Structure 1
Amino acid sequence: MLLHAETTGAGPEAVVLLHGMTGSAESWWRITGLLADRGVRVAALDLPGHGRSPRCPTMTVLDAAASVAQTLDTLGVRPTVTLGHSFGGLLLAAAVATGRFDPGFAVYVDAPFATRGGHDRTEAQAEYVAERDSRTMDRLRADKPHYGERDCQVEALAASRFDPATAAAIAAGPGGSWPPRPGSVVVRADPSHYVDDETAAALASSGVKVRSIPGAAHSVWYSHFDAFVAALPEVFDR
């Protein structure tokens, strides 16, 4: 499966951005603008079942990870840096662990590294439908006080394009665990649902650099943009 990509900027280095569940390539709009202004080529992908990318009722985590690698290969993008947020981070970890993809410098933003799989497809799809339908402009304004107006517009549009059937297929499919490689960086909200203190300590002991941003939302760069940028000099101060 080839995915829709939003590319911007030009330069000798390339950064790839993988969004979270119900998001889209445009979820990174602040990041893409900053990197492009600094002379970096940026490729932000719409993941399977999101944005303008294809839908698939039999999609699995490894299928989705392979689609990321295939798309970037087709585009001729050899990343210097890859950032994956939440679900995008899971796909990044799976693509790297299975040898499908060389991410360059890998950054995982508040991401899980395992999924148990085997969820009831009907129940999962109903939950994703409810999640999609809850992400209206009015609800986002009320529930996400750290979002600006453009943030709300971007995320409401992304939700309207999100395909619950593709997400439910992934949830119902096989699970797995794909730990990040030593030398990778994890940026987490603190507290974090996906990277709690015990997980952070285990990652650090394995050679992964863990950087915490107290009080940040799950989409860290939305709520704490300056702190997020400051936490990643390898990305933003190259």
Structure 2
Amino acid sequence: MRLNTREWGAGERTALLVHGIMSDSRTWRRVGPALAERGYRVIAVDLRGHGLSPRGEYSPQFFADDLVDSLPQGADLAIGHSLGGLVLSLAVERLRPRRAVYSDPAWSSADPGREIGPDVFASFKHTTRDQISAFNPRWDAEDVDVEVATLAAWDVDTARFLDGRPLTGFVPARPVVPSLVQLADPSFLIGADDVDRLRAAGFEVRTVAGAGHTIHRDDFDGFMKSLDGYAVE
């Protein structure tokens, strides 16, 4: 499936951005321009069922196949957040970016007994602006507005593949390309044992101190600083 995309910049290098569940390409409203200022042509997708992309059947593999259908191979950088991190990890061998960043990816769970099924996600569909602000006190007002808009555009059926299971993917056995795992503090998706396995497998792991799950909106400066050596050379 061909996805709707949003672009910033016209640099010689290319960066790809993949958002998490319930969001869309508008979540990168600060990251896209910041990377463009650093010499990138930035391409952000709306995953199927999100933003302006088509609806359809939903599974991590379908999401990943769509990335391959919609994005160029051999980009200089690819960043995936949460579900987008899982999806990017499933597509990275085919996309082959020079570097990959997985921002608090949905690979595992620090609490394996915690179930986050589709009904939990669906309950967020009509979250109010005041509730979003209360949940995310460090967000800019514009990010709150973006969250309201992306929730309105989101198809709740994208969460149905969870089928009552915990929100878990898998910890990749190895990095296909040089890869950074960027963690919230604390991360509810990646536990201490996962961190040890990731480092042993060859991933670089960095924590953005004090940041919530959506690191790029909770602490934009910390997010960008954490990309040193990946987006910034």
Correspondence for 2:196: 201
* Aligned 1:51-200 pairs, distance under 5 A: 51-56=51-56, 58-73=57-72, 78-96=74-92, 99-113=93-107, 124-134=117-127, 136-168=128-160, 170-172=161-163, 177=170, 179=172, 181=175, 183-200=178-195
Identical columns (%):
32
Paired amino acid for 1:110: D
Secondary structure at the counterpart of residue 133 of structure 1: coil
SS at 1:190 equivalent? coil
- 1:53 Cα deviation after fit: 0.7
Higher helix share: 1
- Aligned AA (2:91): A
How has the CA–CA distance of structure 1 residues 176 and 22 changed in structure 2, closer, same or farther, with 3 Å as cutoff? closer
**Aligned-pair distance for 1:178?**
5.8
1:224, CA displacement in angstroms?
1.7
State the 1:236 CA deviation.
3.7
Aligned-residue offset at 1:95? 1.2
Matches of 1:2 and 1:132 in 2, distance apart? 25
d(CA) in 1 for partners of 2:137, 2:227: 24
Q: How many residues align?
A: 223
Return the letter of the residue paired with 1:147: W
Amino acid paired to 1:67: D
TM-score (norm 1): 0.86
* TM-score w.r.t. length of structure 2: 0.88
Name the SS for the 1:185 alignment partner: strand
2:232 equivalent to 1:237: yes
Q: CA RMSD in A?
A: 2.2
In the aligned structure 1, how far is the partner of 2:187 from the partner of 2:171?
Answer: 19
Q: Deviations over 1:9-50 (max 9, x none)?
A: 011100000011111101011101111122210001011111
For the residues of structure 2 that align with 1:173 and 1:148, how far apart are their CA atoms? 33
What is the CA–CA distance in structure 1 between the aligned matches of 2:185 and 2:53, rounded to whole Å?
32
Do the aligned residues in 1 keep the contact of 2:86 with 2:169 (CA within 8 Å)?
A: no
Note the C-alpha offset of 1:231: 1.3
SS in 1 for 2:125: helix
List structure 1 segments (4+ residues) > 4 angstroms apart after TM superposition.
Answer: 173-176
1:176–1:85: structure 2 CA closer, same or farther, 3 Å change rule? closer
Which of residues 205, 210, 224 in structure 2 aligns to 1:210? Answer: 205
2:175 is paired with a residue whose SS is coil
Alignment partners' CA distance in 2, 1:160 and 1:235: 33
Cα 1:114–1:193 change in 2 (3 A) is closer
Partners of 1:173 and 1:191 lie apart in 2 by 24
